[in-house]
Amino acid sequence: MNKRVIRVWDLPTRVFHWLLVLAVAGAIITGELRGELFPWHGRFGIAILGLLVFRLAWGVVGSTYARFSSFIPSRLTIRHYLDGAWLGAGHNPLGALSVLAMLGVLLLQAGTGLFSSAPRDKFQGPLYELAGKALSHTISNLHEFIFNFTIAFLVLHVTAIAYYVRIKKKNLVPAMLTGNAEVDDDAAQPAQGGGPLALIVALALGIGTVWLIGSGTLLALLSR
C-alpha cells in the first residue's frame, strides 16, 4: 500500500483550530490572573462561543473531512481502529470522539460563563440578569467545575499528539498548519466542498453570535 499526501484540512478549519487555541489560552490566563484582566476572560469566552458556532456550522457545510458526517465513528470503525485495521484520512475514530467531547465541554464552559458572576472582580456575564443572583451563583460553581474537564481534555489532546510523535512516529501538527497529510488509504480523496457560500454562512453565524451576545442584543431580546 502506497502512502500518499493529500489535502485533508481546509483553511477555515485550520484557522478555526488555531484561533480556538489562542482564545482558550487567553480565557484560562485572564481567568487565573483575575482582577482588572477578568473582563477579558468574559470577552475570550464570547469569542470561544462564536468560534464554536462557526465550527458547528462548518461541520455541516464545510469540506469533506471537516464534516461531522465524515468522522463520527461507529462501533465497527472504533473496533477496526483498536485492531489496527482502520484506514482513512482526517480524524481517526478515537480522535473524533475526543474532538466531539472537547467541543461539547467548551460549549458548556462558555455557555455557563454567560450567566456567571465574579463579585470580587466586579464581573457579571452578559446574560447574568436572566439568571439572577442565586441561580448565577450556582451556575458560576458549575462553570468552575466544568473547567476541570476542559483542562483534562486539553492535557489529553497534547498527550495524544506527543504519543503520535514519539510512539507512532507521526507528527500531526504540520497537517493542521499546511492542510496536507500523509494517508495509507488508497481510496482516500482530497477534501472537497466547503466553498465560498458555505464559508459565508458559517462565518455569519459565528460572527452573529459574538455580536448578539457582546452588544447586549441577545439579553434585550430574551428579556422581552
98 neighbors 157 (Cβ within 8 angstroms): yes
**pTM metric for this prediction:** 0.94
Q: How many domains are there within the chain?
A: 1
Query: What span, in angstroms and rounded, lies between the C-alpha atoms of 211 and 98?
Result: 29
User: For position 193, which CATH number holds?
Assistant: 1.20.950.20
Helix, strand, coil percent content, the chain, rounded in steps of 5: 70, 5, 25
Instruction: Write the DSSP assignment of 148-180 as a string of letters.
Output: HHHHHHHHHHHHHHHHHHHTS----HHHHHHSE
Q: Tell me the pLDDT of the chain (224 aa) as tens digits.
A: 567 899 999 999 999 999 999 999 999 999 999 888 999 999 999 999 999 999 999 999 999 999 999 888 888 888 888 887 777 788 888 888 999 999 999 999 999 999 999 988 889 999 999 999 999 999 999 999 999 999 999 999 999 889 888 888 888 899 999 999 888 767 788 999 999 999 999 999 999 999 999 999 999 999 88
Domain hosting residue 38, numbered range = 4-222
